[in-house]
């Protein structure tokens, strides 16, 4: 009978390959992001193409940091598109923050409604 160690070995190999791929992506994207920022590039297609590629690796913190840096740069060029890239990241990698934001918005809306009904009753 195979031990649990033998059973898990293929998964360990895949995890190591994934980690190596993440590191390779950061090595390849680091100079690209640095060049975009350093040159103050406003090439929307190139920036978005780079963000699209980086997005696949944002589960790895160094790649996420590159993504954030590029989003900060892109925000000055197109804040609406940048917000969409942030939302795409959240949907793909950070579902928890989406739920927290919904809760905060819901609480804020309830507070507005309560304060609105209080001020409406004061005006009667």
Q: How far is CA 79 from the centre of its chain?
A: 15
Please report, for the chain, the start and end positions of each structural domain, with discontinuous segments joined by +: 4-109
pLDDT at 111: 62
pTM of the model: 0.72
- Which residue do the tokens 């917000």 mark? 83
Written as six digits, the tokens of 27 are 């090595």
* Positive or negative: CA dihedral 46, 52, 57, 58: positive
**Helix, strand, coil abundance in the chain, percent, nearest 5:** 85, 0, 15
pLDDT in tens, 72-116: 999 999 999 999 999 999 999 887 765 665 565 566 655 666 666
Using pLDDT thresholds of 50, 70 and 90, give the confidence band for residue 123: very low
41 phi and psi angles, rounded to 5 deg: -60, 140
Task: Tell me the per-residue pLDDT of 36-84, one tens digit each, with 9 for 90 and over.
Answer: 999 999 999 999 999 999 999 999 999 999 999 999 999 999 999 999 9
């Amino acid at each position: 009978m195979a031990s649990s160690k033998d059973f898990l070995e293929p998964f360990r190999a895949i995890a190591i390959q994934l980690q190596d791929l993440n590191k390779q992506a950061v090595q390849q994207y680091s100079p690209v992001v640095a060049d975009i920022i350093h040159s103050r590039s406003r090439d929307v297609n190139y920036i978005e193409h780079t963000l699209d590629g980086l997005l696949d690796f944002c589960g790895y913190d160094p790649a996420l940091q590159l993504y954030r840096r590029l989003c900060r740069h892109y925000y000055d060029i197109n804040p609406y598109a940048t917000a969409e890239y942030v939302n795409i990241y959240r949907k793909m990698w950070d579902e928890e923050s989406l739920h927290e934001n919904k809760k905060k918005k819901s609480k804020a809306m309830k507070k507005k409604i309560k304060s609105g009904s209080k001020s409406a009753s004061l005006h009667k």
